[in-house]
Amino acid sequence: MSPPDDKPGKTPEAPVPGTRAAASPDPAPLRTLLPDIEGAEKAFLSGRRNREADLESAVRFFLEFLRGFESFDFVAPCITVFGSSRFPEGHPYYQLARELGYALAKAGYVVMTGGGPGIMEAANRGAREAGGLSFGCNIKLPREQQPNPYLDRFIEFEHFFVRKVMLVKYSSAFVVMPGGFGTLDEAFEVITLIQTGKLERFPIISMGGDFWNQMYGFARETMLKEGVISREEVEFIHDAKTVEEALRIIQQR
């Protein structure tokens, strides 16, 4: 289930929303109702504002959601892969995510990521190499987060919380690769939704070996011991050592 060996050639150009052959068009009317504002989310979270400003923000939220719903219209089951943008192509975690994306696509799954570089690029790349659908929910950031060139469909969001909803809404399993605060935020969001009964108990799979050991230790030796989580909740996350094991967990559900 490994992706094909690299061959010399031109790296695909980064996609533009709605321009790839496999992409659903980005609805033009939605993009013109309100002009884009740099830092709209930061402005919204800046504190108390007048009612008119908050109403405008609410309209922006709605339009972002609507654009996502219209763009991600597909039938096949979907798996979301979370992970850091900072691992380069030669890193073992990059290769692992690429192999995972390839295996998922070969098994008939759409592969969705945050749409950026690093682990996200690797999973999308593997899916593309396997001939599967590769989706991305990108986010506008000052650095790091540019859409990777292996996406069949992607949307660029302004608001983090809208993006997180879209990363969760369509997926029936979640793979958590090594990452930083953003990856932890995404993973704990899914865990909390399952814990509180807001989301079906879909598989959550961690990959990356020793990277997660201390996190597992903290959950069992501190959180469980202090009674802030239950033993059942500790078992929400399945640890997979190989791509084959991760795929087996997903298919067993």
The strand order across the sheet containing 78-82 reads 153-157, 134-139, 110-113, 78-82, 171-176, 204-206, 237-239
- Residue 43's pLDDT is what? 86
| Domain extent at residue 112 | 78-252
Q: Are residues 111 and 141 in the same domain?
A: yes
How does pLDDT run across 142-172, given as a tens digit for each residue? 665 689 999 999 898 989 999 999 999 999 9
- Residue 38's pLDDT is what? 67
Split at pLDDT 50, 70, 90, the class of 21 is very low
Split at pLDDT 50, 70, 90, the class of 136 is very high
Q: Are residues 61 and 140 in the same domain?
A: no
- Residue 146's pLDDT is what? 81
Domain termination site, one of 40, 71, 102: 71
Q: Is 18 domain-assigned?
A: no
Split at pLDDT 50, 70, 90, the class of 91 is very high
Q: Which residue has the higher pLDDT, 34 or 202?
A: 202
Q: Are residues 67 and 88 in the same domain?
A: no
Alpha helices in the chain (DSSP H): 28-32, 40-44, 51-71, 92-106, 119-129, 160-169, 181-195, 213-218, 231-234, 243-252
Domain termination site, one of 71, 94, 126: 71
What is the rounded distance in angstroms from the CA atom of residue 1 to the CA atom of residue 85?
Answer: 24
**Of all residues in the chain, what percent carry a pLDDT higher than 90?**
71
Which residues, including other chains, have CB under 8 Å from residue 215's CB and lie 6 or more apart? none
Q: Are residues 122 and 63 in the same domain?
A: no
How does pLDDT run across 169-189, given as a tens digit for each residue? 999 999 999 999 999 999 999
- Give the global pTM: 0.84
What is the rounded distance in angstroms from the CA atom of residue 157 to the CA atom of residue 136?
Answer: 10
Which DSSP letter does residue 4 get? Answer: P
Count of domains forming the chain: 2
Q: Are residues 119 and 33 in the same domain?
A: no
The maximal CA–CA distance of the chain, rounded, in angstroms, is 57
- Residue 27's pLDDT is what? 35
- Residue 165's pLDDT is what? 96
Q: Are residues 130 and 36 in the same domain?
A: no
3-state secondary structure of 122: helix
What CATH number has the domain bearing residue 153?
3.40.50.450
**Of all residues in the chain, what percent carry a pLDDT higher than 70?**
83
Average pLDDT over all residues of the chain: 87
